[in-house]
């Protein structure tokens, strides 16, 4: 019991103090409509004076973490021209973009002090152990195993250490999926790097820092709706070709940017072959998002995907 208490105490020491219970009994992690917070990122967060004085930070909130990630923890080569990889760069937090059950997403500007070179990044930070609220994570974790049996036991028992390992696994799973899908040509944000449980991604939005809206926040019609539908089908087929399902696909996990769809939120990505219910996850993804398009007036007949048995759905999407 004493050993377990020490582990819990040590684990809590890494928690972020700004996660707290909100007024009215609502937890900070509960999903909220982000439209009213779309402009919060325009206010620059003040850098900590103590941090500046100790590390000699010329500006920003921290030094670039680029050198803290190994080559396998960075995005695929070649690196995009817009990406700032200089070791002397700094990261400045501009505000929060989205809150969620498992992670929060912040807007960062990574730039080189004294130079006209910078880029906007989305920092997805998985929550500390005691505040994490993974949504139905047990179902998604089936088929995900690590080599060490003690790690698997800790994750299954949901101990403090095990929950921390689950957080790391979710972040790693999302980053690996983004690398794979980006290289395959799927419209996903470029995965810049992963450091612990923080993933840095390409910011999907405009140069002024206004984030692209989620598909659920838009009202496409006519030709625009057909173009978005074609984007969706192409992405789903590519996922199926790689033996993957999004696992939680909906109009809230797709962004509408420059007239096209961008797929986001992939921590629960499911291996269709390894997971015992992989085909069912894929079928549910297709049914959920297809119903959204049909409700918005997609003129074509109901897609055959809704009538295909789960066992045959992979073959249909790969056709």
Residue 255 has pLDDT above 90, yes or no: yes
Q: What is the distance between the alpha carbons of residues 129 and 154, in angstroms, rounded to a whole number?
A: 13
For 49-63, the DSSP string reads HHHHHHHT--SSSEE
Residue 275 has pLDDT above 90, yes or no: no
Residue 104 has pLDDT above 60, yes or no: yes
Peptide bond just before 285 cis, omega within 30 deg:
no
Per-domain residue ranges of the chain: 20-202, 215-317
Q: What is the distance between the alpha carbons of residues 210 and 107, in angstroms, rounded to a whole number?
A: 10
| Cα angle for residues 156, 162, 168 (degrees, 5° grid) | 115
| More confident call, 9 vs 246 | 246
Lowest mean per-residue pLDDT among 122-131, 210-219, 298-307: 298-307
Q: Do domains 20-202 and 215-317 have the same CATH topology?
A: no
Does the structural domain 20-202 have CATH classification 3.30.200.20? yes
| The pLDDT of residue 153 | 53
Average predicted confidence (pLDDT) for the chain: 76
Average pLDDT of the residues in 236-250: 91
Average pLDDT of the residues in 80-91: 96
Residue 152 has pLDDT above 70, yes or no: no
| More confident call, 46 vs 260 | 260
Q: Tokens for 94? A: 């501009």
Which residue in 248, 238, 245, 250 sits closest to 181, CA to CA?
238
pLDDT band at 163 (very low <50, low <70, confident <90, very high): low
Average pLDDT of the residues in 213-242: 92
- As assigned by CATH, the class of the 215-317 domain is mainly alpha
Question: Is 166 within 8 Å of 155 (Cβ atoms)?
Answer: yes
Question: Is 274 within 8 Å of 141 (Cβ atoms)?
Answer: no
Average pLDDT of the residues in 116-133: 79
């Amino acid at each position: 019991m004493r050993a377990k208490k020490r582990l819990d105490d040590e684990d809590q020491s890494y928690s972020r103090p700004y996660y707290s219970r909100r007024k009215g009994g609502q937890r900070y992690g509960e999903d909220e409509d982000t439209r009213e917070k779309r402009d919060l990122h325009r206010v620059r967060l003040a850098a900590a004076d103590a941090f500046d004085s100790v590390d000699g930070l010329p500006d920003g909130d921290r030094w670039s973490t680029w050198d803290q990630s190994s080559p396998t923890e960075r995005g695929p080569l070649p690196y995009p021209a817009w990406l700032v990889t200089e070791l002397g760069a700094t990261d400045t937090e501009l505000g929060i973009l989205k809150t969620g059950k498992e992670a929060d997403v912040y807007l960062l500007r990574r730039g080189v002090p004294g130079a006209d070179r910078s880029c906007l990044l989305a920092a997805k930070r998985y929550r500390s152990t005691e505040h994490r609220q993974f949504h139905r994570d047990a179902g998604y974790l089936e088929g995900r195993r690590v080599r060490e049996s003690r790690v698997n036991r800790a994750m299954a028992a949901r101990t403090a250490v095990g929950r921390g390992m689950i957080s790391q696994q979710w972040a790693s799973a999302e980053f690996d999926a983004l690398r794979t899908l980006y290289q395959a040509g799927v419209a996903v944000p470029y995965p810049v790097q992963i450091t612990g449980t923080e993933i840095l991604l390409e910011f999907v939005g405009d140069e002024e820092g206004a984030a692209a809206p989620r598909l659920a926040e838009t009202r496409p019609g006519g030709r625009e709706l057909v173009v978005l539908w074609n984007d969706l089908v192409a992405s789903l087929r590519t996922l199926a070709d790689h033996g993957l399902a999004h696992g939680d696909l909906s109009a809230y996990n797709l962004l509408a940017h420059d007239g096209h769809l961008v797929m986001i939120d992939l921590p629960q990505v499911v291996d269709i072959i390894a997971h015992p219910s992989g085909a069912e996850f894929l079928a549910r993804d297709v049914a959920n998002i297809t119903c959204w398009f049909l409700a918005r007036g997609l003129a074509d007949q109901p897609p055959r995907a809704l009538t295909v048995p789960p066992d045959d759905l992979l073959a249909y999407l790969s056709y």
